[in-house]
Amino acid sequence: MARVDYSERIPNNVSLAENRRLLRALEEWQPRYLDWWNQMGPEGFQARDVYLRTAISVDPQGWAHFDWVKMPEYRWGIFLAEPEPGRTIAFGEHKGTPAWQDVPGEYRGTLRRLIVTQGDTEPASVEQQRHLGRTCPSLYDLRNIFQVNVEEGRHLWAMVYLLHAHFGRDGREEAEALLQRRSGDSDKPRILGAFNERTPDWLSFFMFCFFTDRDGKYQLASLAESGFDPLSRTCRFMLTEEAHHMFVGEAGIGRIVQKTVELMREHRTDDDVRRHGGIDLPTMQRYLNFHCSVSLDLFGSEISTNAANFYTAGLKGRFEETKKADDHLLREATYPVTRPEGDTIKLVEEPALTALNERLRDDYVADCQRGVDRWNAIIRKHGIDFELRLPHRGFHRAIGNCAELRVSPDGRVVSEAEWDARKHEWLPTPGDQAYVASLMTPVVEPGKFAGWIAPPARGINGQPVEFEYVKLSARAGEEGRRG
Ligand code: BYC
């Protein structure tokens, strides 16, 4: 079993000590990463002790260790899943040949771009969430957001390791650039659209974890199929960590739904939840529409020669590629893809190779639907006649076939006039945002929760819900220096 070496400045299971050059390069990057973390990481809590899990091995059973940690002292490191002896490439034109341990020269630029795009999302999400600690609904939630943040930081390390270890000077330059771009900055934005949106409140945060982190799951799962073995092994371990982030999202929204329907029952009201301090279901639906649509964009265009090339080259596979029983070449196969025709959106058969983004989006949508079904079960259980729905995949898109169109959540192509008249029904309004913002007052007493969210069913790592997950009693003055 691969235990992680914690005696090193950079914990790792890749024998970093044996590669002095690489070690030195990463040790030079480390203080710049910490500068970035201190500047752009969670605001106001850097000197606090947080009950965090740290990876101590890559064994799926018992890989994590929980302890009190100040975030800047978190042991970010490099952890690759165990190698699979004799692993071969499962798809594309190199199918059946041994997985690559080094970057093939002809794919260097493409692979670097994929790794940089993946890497860029990780610090971006930390930047997007940096103010949220100040308005946490509970210590339990505060700890969870910090867990997500430090692990996104670790995922940046995961990609930076690949860049440093396998891409020479270009890789080192890209690793620097990952610390230079900033979410939402018009001069140096993050690469993908959703990572430049604001995450101003906790409803947005939970939606982000549910929808956008789930894109992460599907992209990482596709990269875990890569013929470039170090990328595959890196992504396989990242997926283990990612599961908690999606749990935070699904459970967070589930707890808000729970509280809302309890308030509706208690006060015998269907449409006046706001008066009782809850988040009404139509507002939740509008937030859901927004976060789902920007996350659907993250899969790229329905028809993509990039995606076809990634696949044929053996760089990025399908979700669960090795479990599929076809030729893994897709030269003849077709796949149904959405395409607008007049004022409707149809399904048309397209070559499966160029339709790979849409196929991954289908896997993703099915997974999202399972979570939405669980939220609806909570609503139904309280006898309330309301159903949360995923918007049509053409709704509010900025990438792909529907980017130039106005599409309603139920999938009609609508006129600009209808869009303008009804968009307040479909997307969060300034009024919704102001109302949600008005609820964001911090609750930091152990075991207490804000009035718009139900407590979780259980605590973290077997601890009680009322456990002091973040110790807010730092020495006076310390926060001012480091926060
Ligand atoms: N925003 O052929 P197309 C995560 C660009 S999240 C802006 O349609 P392609 C996480 C595209 O780059 C997972 N630009 O798409 C979650 C291309 O540019 P060029 C992140 C976009 O290339 C939460 C052009 O449009 N991982 O881990 O097949 C918290 C035409 O592109 C967007 C990855 O994304 C967009 N939404 O696929 C923390 C995996 N979409 O070439 C972390 C790596 C497309 O014309 N990335 N474009 O300059 C990829 O696999 C692919 O780059 C994409 C796009 C799937 C993103």
pLDDT digits (tens, 9 = 90+) for 394-415: 999 999 999 999 999 999 999 9
Ligand 1 centroid, distance to 243 Cα (angstroms) = 21
What is the rounded CA–CA span in Å between residue 46 and residue 103?
Answer: 38
**276 CA distance to ligand 1 middle (Å):** 41
Closest ligand 1 atom to residue 301 Cα is: 8
* The model's pTM: 0.96
What is the C-alpha to C-alpha distance for residues 387 and 404, in angstroms, rounded to an integer?
A: 29
**Hey, which residues does 12 pair with through a beta bridge?**
5, 78
Q: What is the pLDDT of residue 474?
A: 53
Question: According to the model, what pLDDT value does residue 2 have?
Answer: 56
DSSP state of 212: I
What local confidence, expressed as pLDDT, does residue 480 receive? 40
Distances (CA, A) of 241 to 60, 148, 205: 10, 9, 18
Given a contact cutoff of 8 angstroms between Cβ atoms, the answer to whether 446 and 140 are in contact is no
Q: What is the DSSP letter of 475?
A: P
249 CB near ligand 1 (under 6 Å): no
Token duo for residue 146: 């910090």
Collapsed DSSP state (helix, strand, coil) of residue 384: coil
Residue with CA at minimum distance from ligand 1 atom 6? 216
Strand ranges across the sheet with 470-471 = 64-70, 49-55, 470-471
Whole-angstrom CA distances from 154 to 12, 122, 147, 214, 255 are 11, 8, 11, 17, 28
CA angle 425, 428, 432 (to 5 degrees): 100
Tokens of 168: 């020479």
With 0-12 CB in 10 A as exposed, 13-18 as middle and 19+ as buried, what is 356? Answer: buried
Which element (helix H / strand E) includes 70? strand 64-70
Test site for ligand 1: of 114, 192, 247, most ligand atoms within 8 A of the Cβ: 192
Name the β-bridge partners of 151: none
Centroid of ligand 1 to alpha carbon of 306 (angstroms): 10
- Rounded CA-CA distance 36/32 in Å is 6
Q: Does the beta carbon of 212 sit less than 6 angstroms from any atom of ligand 1?
A: yes
Instruction: Tell me the CA–centroid distance for residue 88 and ligand 1, in Å.
Output: 26
Listed residue (165, 114, 120) closest to 311, CA to CA: 114
Question: With the CA atoms of 104, 80, 250 and 377 taken in that order, what torsion angle do they form, in degrees rounded to the nearest 10?
Answer: 90
Beta carbons of 120 and 188 less than 8 angstroms apart:
no
Contact 392, 411 (CB under 8 A): yes
The pLDDT of residue 343 is: 86
CA-based end-to-end distance of the chain = 38
> How many A from CA of 397 to the centre of ligand 1?
14
- Per the CB < 8 A criterion, the answer to whether 250 and 424 are in contact is no
**454-458: long-range contacts at Cβ-Cβ below 8 A with a sequence spacing of 24 or more?**
454/255, 454/256, 454/258, 454/259, 454/262, 455/138, 455/140, 455/255, 456/140, 456/251, 456/255
Contact 176, 159 (CB under 8 A): no
**132, 149 contact by CB (below 8 A):** no
User: Is 192's C-beta closer than 6 angstroms to any atom of ligand 1?
Assistant: yes
C-alpha of residue 299 to centroid of ligand 1, in Å? 6
Q: What is the pLDDT of residue 477?
A: 42
**For the CA atoms of the chain, what is the radius of gyration?**
23
Residue 336 per-residue DSSP state: E
User: What span, in angstroms and rounded, lies between the C-alpha atoms of 91 and 64?
Assistant: 33
- Euclidean distance between CA atoms 142 and 446, whole angstroms: 11
Q: What is the pLDDT of residue 478?
A: 45
453, 459, 427: which is closest to 441 by C-alpha? 453
Q: What is the pLDDT along the chain (483 residues), one digit of tens a residue?
A: 456 777 788 999 999 999 999 999 999 999 999 999 999 999 999 999 999 999 887 777 777 889 999 999 999 999 999 999 999 999 999 999 999 999 999 999 999 999 999 999 999 999 999 999 999 999 999 999 999 999 999 999 999 999 999 999 999 999 999 999 999 999 999 999 999 999 999 999 999 999 999 999 999 999 999 999 999 999 999 999 899 999 999 999 999 999 999 999 999 877 789 999 999 999 999 999 999 999 999 999 999 999 999 999 999 999 999 999 999 999 999 999 999 998 899 999 999 999 999 999 999 999 999 999 999 999 999 999 999 999 999 999 999 999 999 999 999 999 999 999 999 999 999 999 999 999 999 999 999 999 999 999 999 999 999 999 999 975 544 444 443
Distance CA 404, CA 344 (A): 14
Please work out whether the CB of residue 125 comes within 6 Å of at least one atom of ligand 1.
yes
CA 278 – CA 483 distance, rounded (Å): 31
Q: What is the pLDDT of residue 3?
A: 62
pLDDT at position 55, please? 85
